[in-house]
Structure 1
Amino acid sequence: MTVANATFLDHLMAQRAAYRYKLPSRPDAGRFIDQLMRLLFPVTQDCQSASQHVEETYHKLNEQLVCLFRPLMANLPDTPEAIAERFFEQLPAIYDNLLFDAHSIADNDPAAVGIEEVVAVYPGFYAIAVYRIAHELLQLKVPLLPRMLTEYAHGQTGIDIHPGAKIGRSFFIDHGTGVVIGETTTIGDNVKIYQGVTLGATHVAKSMAQKKRHPTIENNVVIYANATILGGNTVVGHDSVIGGNVWLTESVEAHSLVFHQHQTDIRLKSLESREPINFVI
């Protein structure tokens, strides 16, 4: 080993000691979330199906969660075992919320053939499920691991939901690719959003970290593809429809219809005159 390499390794050791957090393994975090999903929704089967060993799988998942907590022990509010117990006490409520989400997708998407398809293959449902699990861990004051879980789902689905967001029942993400939901977003019940929607902040200054930076979406709102809604003071009133490609930075009242107005020209050349015929849409 050269002197330069030895010096570099010493630098890495010193840097490791200076880290504020020690983190669990990202592959382990991903395995935990996927095994937990198979426990809750054993629709897809493998050679060692969780549905045939529910109690055994439940206890193994508890052990895995405790293991994920151990690197974070210095920053946890209680022992890993105590926090894991509290999380699993909340699992029935998480499961009930996910059933509402799954039924909302199955009932509103004409392409869905049933709950089985939704829970097995719909990226929107998967991202919502991981969010709800991660959000509960965040409520238990577990640092960083919740974000690791939602980023794992982000990588799997292209849907980025911060675990700090507050999302009500019967949430429906259709298609989902490119959806971004920021940390301080509040979403009510029966909300539907489509691909490319951003619920973001107008400012990204670090000084805004403890303030509400992202919008509030009230009950029964539909937000169509590629709409961007920004700002912590922006409220979309209940039962509103936000059209595709809308850029919104101010509040709208309940029962509003917001759409991006544009003009598309289609030109068709006449075979006789060779002059263009204009249509305005």
Structure 2
Amino acid sequence: MDKEKIIQELQGHKKQPYLDYRLKRETEEFTDLLFYTLFDVNTPVASNLDILENKFRRLVDLACWEIQQPCHKLWDNYVAKLPSVLENLNLDAEAILNCDPASLSIQEVYMAYPGFYAIAIYRLAHELYKKEFPLVPRLMTEYAHRQTGVDINPGAQIGKSFFIDHATGVVIGETAVIHDNVKVYQGVTLGALYVEKSLQKVKRHPTIQSNVTIYANATILGGETVIGENSVIGGNAWLTASVPANSKVFHTPEIHIKTADV
């Protein structure tokens, strides 16, 4: 074995000059501290904001590769948004408590509901995404994805009092728009009809208007697809066209039951 030759070949194939995995690890640490700062009663807010600022500046050093883009100015704008983000997250938690008969306390929602955690990290990441600092928010939501099974792209636009029940397998694409008081169950996909790189700046994912409930494993695709307000989408439904307000959409499989002769 020619070790030096192998090393040279490996070095030759490392083509990405900015691919520093410290960014991923440090983003996860930043995300954890940010979440606890907002919610944990024993985590001090004042001192933690200083720590978070230092951690964020480190993320900027690792992830802001465009010299002309003033990433170092992002923190002040971002931290000013945190009170409104927390206000919206409290509404999300209350929606879960009020809609899920299995929820016994608001504390349980904050600590034990994977859907709430995924929404929380999405909302925290979305504010950075809007500032055109895309890699860190994507790493934040992928961290939540790994822990909860919920894949929410930080570019999605989600209104107030959002409720994801059971959580696992939910996918919400980058250009999805979700209005207020929407309930989504496990396995729901809000996706694109098809994928082409040329569609990067095009709305590819559906719009869900207010007060819609989407039951387990329903799939709704397409940027022009609009689910009208107050509609109910049944489990396992497959939709690629719009649905008017106040609709009920159900998938009705044919089920046969055969019993053994006694």
1:115-157 deviation line (CA, Å, top 9, x unaligned)? 1111111000000000001100011111211101000000000
Q: Is the 8 A contact 1:23 1:71 kept in 2?
A: no
Change (3 A) 1:23 1:71: farther
Please state if 1:129 is matched with 2:129: no
Correspondence for 1:78 among 70, 73, 79: 70
Q: Give CA-to-partner distance per residue, 1:89-115, whole Å, 9 cap, x none.
A: 100010111011000001101111111
Q: How does 1:17-36 map to 2 (within 5 A)?
A: 17=17, 19=18, 25-36=23-34
1:237 aligns with 2:228: yes
1:40 aligned residue (38, 46, 68): 38
Gaps of at least 5 residues in structure 1 are 44-48, 272-281
Moved beyond 6 Å, runs of 4+:
none
Larger Rg: 1
Q: Give the TM-score normalised by structure 1.
A: 0.88
Using structure 2 for the length normalisation, give the TM-score.
0.94
Find the counterpart in structure 2 of residue 276 from structure 1: none
Aligned pairs, how many? 260
Map 1:181-196 to 2 at 5 A: 181-196=172-187
Partner of 1:251: 242
**Identity of aligned pairs, percent?**
48
- 1:146-202: CA deviations, max 9, x gaps? 101000000000000000000000000000100000000000000000000000011
2:201 aligned with 1:210: yes
Cα contact 2:161–2:181 (8 A) shared by 1: yes
Unaligned runs of 5+ in 2: none
- Write out aligned runs for 1:1-281 (5 A): 2-12=3-13, 15-17=15-17, 19=18, 25-42=23-40, 49-50=42-43, 53-75=44-66, 77-80=69-72, 82-271=73-262
Q: Which amino acid aligns with 1:242?
A: I
Tell me the distance in 2 between the aligned counterparts of 1:99 and 1:191.
15
Distance 1:183 1:139 in 2: 12
Provide the aligned C-alpha RMSD in A. 1.7
CA distance in structure 2 between the aligned counterparts of 1:79 and 1:183, rounded to whole angstroms: 22
